[in-house]
Each structure stands twice: as structure tokens, then as C-alpha cells.
Amino acid sequence: MDIESQVRALMFGTDFGDPQLGRSMERELRERLHKARQEGRPLRVYAGYDPSGPDIHLGHTITLRKLRLFQEFGHDVTFLIGTFTAQVGDTSDKTSGRPRKTREEVEAASQTYAEQCFKVLDRSRINVRYNGEWLEKMTLADVVSLSSHFTVQQFLARDNYKKRLEAGNPVGLHEFLYALLQGYDALHLHCDVQLGATDQLFNIMAGRKLQEAHGQLPCICLTYPILVGTDGKMRMSKSAGNYIGIAEPPETQFGKTMSLSDATMLDFMRLVTRWTPDQVEAYRQQVTDGQIHPMAMKKKLAWEVVAMYHGDTAADQAGAHFERVHQKHDLPESMPEFSVAPATHLIDFLASNQLVGSKSQARRLVDGGGLKIDGEPVRDYNAVLERDVIVQVGKRGFYQVRIQS
């Protein structure tokens, strides 16, 4: 693809919080592409992901899909798993500190990250790296040397730290180190381009500073918006329960997408699909002009989400399932089956089979009328299973439960 087309596709959806910075990064990207072409080499591109949980969700795929574009344009792409930085913990988007992850927690999550990324990225054209490879080898002298390139004032000027200090809340010294460590990743990888969410801007700019200090060309910074979750309010995360995991079943992905608000749907169209900028703008205009109903557009979006991770056939089946169960109020054609002992406690059954995240979540479902037996809401936390029933968990979970004889 010609350079101008590459620039347009890669800059689509970017958000720097500063139009002037955006123009500067676009100019640098164009210049670096021309320079690399003259030198007969690809750009070195990476994005880092801290394995803070076991699942990659649609929020992660914003940058993953841009990495895929860089692959398709013939560039050298690295998927970096932050096995070391995850143990420090990034608080760029936090108004408080966060618990540090143990090595064991990080290593377990990193295994699923390394495999799930291939649902988006081309396995044959990707470098998967772990920043523990080099960060664990750093000496105290190395850390002091990195720190000498920054001032305390630069960190205190960050909005989230400023707010915490003004509120009298503590800011851990180790939190300052995170930006330095991420910056060192860029230096170690000799990267030309680093991708991240908008809250990573300070950290990526730290990498540019370190690269310049060590005689490298500073990497181009491409940052993209943080995806709002299915609740339409908070950022997508597993801890908030508002995420769509890329490894989740097709019916779950379709149903969760259909639950989005119309405004959130428009953001998803722009950020998490394979649609070109022209397609996205055409669809948005059709919705705005009333040429297509938001519900119909949402079905297109839900189909696209499922098709990306499970294929077209699965997307067709998930769409049919949604219409049958949620629009025609029929039961799904097939349901997972469980066999339990008589008088099994319902909430214990759900938790032990991981059909809910926790017993507390099951109780919240009871409070909200979202837990049903044979279509009737469960009102008692102590309900037990005494006969063959269909248990419904939320809007999309249907399970055939049979009592052992």
C-alpha cells in the first residue's frame, strides 16, 4: 500500500488529547515511512500488554488491530507481554494505587495472552516478547541512570497523581518507575512506532526521551481511545464486569454487543471492527440520517464482532440464537447440561461450575431478578435444586440441570 494510504489507515481513530501533537505524530509517521522505504527496511513496531487478568477483551483489540495493519503493510511487529511491568502495576488511569501482582499471577495470565493474541495477529509474522527478559537483568545503577533523565516535577504534573495528592491519598514511589520501565522497553526494542491507549501517552513519551538520550530516533507515538465497557460508563475491564472477551462463546459476544447503548455502538464501530474508515463513516451517516435503524446497525456490529473471532458461520448462528431467545423469547436449541445431587444449593451449584463469577454475583442476580428457574425469577438466596429444571443466568446463560436418581 502507498504511504499516504498507510498513514490514513493507521491514524484513523487516534486520540492524543492535543491536536498539535496529533499533527506532529502524523508528520513523523509519514517521514519515517519514507525513510524506511528509502533504506529498504520495515518499521519496527510494538505495543505492550500487561497480563493483569486471564482474558484479552475488545478494549485490547484496538491496538491489536492496528498492529495487524502494520503486519499487512509489511512491517516488523512485536507483541510485548509485560511480565515484569505487570508486577509493578500501571496506575496511569487510576485515581488510587493498585495491588501489585505476584510473579505467579502474571505468568499464568501471560500464557493466555500469548495465545489469544493470534485471534487478531498473523502468527507467522509476529514477534512475541516478554519484557522480563531484559528488565529483570537491570542493576540498581541502570535504574539510577534511567531516572536521571526525568524530574520529580514531570511526574507530579500528571493529572492522576496531582488529584491523588490533592485528596491526601498516597502515591507510591514504585509508581514513578513504571514509566521509566516502559520507556526502556522502547529503547531496548529500537522501535520506530509504539502503540498504546491514551492513558499511556506519558509513558510512551518517556520512551521517546530515553531513545533520544541514547542516540536513537524517537519512536512515533500512536495512541487510541480507551474503550468504554458494555455499561456505557466505565472503561472496559474484567474487574468491572463490563467486558466482551475475545475468547467468549459466540452467543455471549453477540448478546453483549446487542446490549450496548446507541452512543457506545458508534464508538465500537470505529474502534473494534475490521471496517475501513470509509465504511465506518458511511454506516455512521446512515444511522444519523435514519437510513438504518440503530437496532439493525447493532446487529451488523454484533455479527462483525463474532465473525472476527469465531467465523461467519458462528456469527450467523449467534444472530439466529439472539433472535430466537431474546426477540421471540424461545429457549436455545441446545444448552449445556449438568447433573446434580438432590437438594443442591443453587448458588453453590452456579459458583462451583463457574457459571457466575462469585457467590456475591449470584446474590446480586437474585436481587435484580436475573436468576431464573423455568422462567420464574428466584427470590430466595437459599433456593435448592429438587427437580429437572432450566436455570437462566442473566440474559444469555441457559443451562439444563438434571437431578441424579
At residue 54, the pLDDT reads 66
Mean pLDDT along residues 333-346: 89
Helix axes 277-288, 294-310, angle to 10 degrees: 150
- In this prediction, residue 4 has a pLDDT band, given cuts at 50, 70 and 90, of very high
Residue range(s) defining the domain that contains residue 290: 250-327
Asked if residue 234 belongs to a domain, the reply is no
CATH number at residue 347: 3.10.290.10
At residue 334, the pLDDT reads 81
DSSP-assigned beta bridge partners for residue 38: none
At residue 170, the pLDDT reads 84
Same domain, residue pair 290 and 387: no
Asked if residue 244 belongs to a domain, the reply is no
What's this model's pTM, rounded to 2 decimal places? Answer: 0.75
Q: pLDDT for 157-172, tens place per residue?
A: 887 888 888 888 888 8
Same domain, residue pair 282 and 309: yes
Q: What is the DSSP letter of 323?
A: I
CATH number at residue 199: 3.40.50.620
Distance CA 405, CA 397 (A): 25
Judged against a pLDDT cut of 80, whether residue 152 lies above it is answered with: yes
Asked if residue 332 belongs to a domain, the reply is no
Same domain, residue pair 47 and 184: yes
Same domain, residue pair 147 and 290: no
Q: Which residues contact 328 (CB under 8 A, 6 or more apart)?
A: none
DSSP-assigned beta bridge partners for residue 220: 193
Helix or strand (DSSP H, E) at 389: strand 389-393
HEC per residue, 168-192: CCCCCHHHHHHHHHHHHHHHHHCCC
Same domain, residue pair 73 and 152: yes
Same domain, residue pair 321 and 348: no
Asked if residue 68 belongs to a domain, the reply is yes
Distance CA 357, CA 92 (A): 27
Judged against a pLDDT cut of 70, whether residue 328 lies above it is answered with: no
Return the closest-CA partner of residue 305 out of 230, 209, 368, 397: 230
Mean pLDDT along residues 220-249: 89
Same domain, residue pair 152 and 183: yes
- Cβ(208)–Cβ(32) below 8 Å: no
Same domain, residue pair 122 and 144: yes
Q: pLDDT for 17-52, tens place per residue?
A: 999 999 999 999 999 999 999 999 999 999 998 886
Distance CA 225, CA 221 (A): 13
Q: Coil, helix or strand for 47? A: strand
Asked if residue 242 belongs to a domain, the reply is no
Asked if residue 236 belongs to a domain, the reply is no
Which tops the pLDDT comparison, 178 or 70?
70
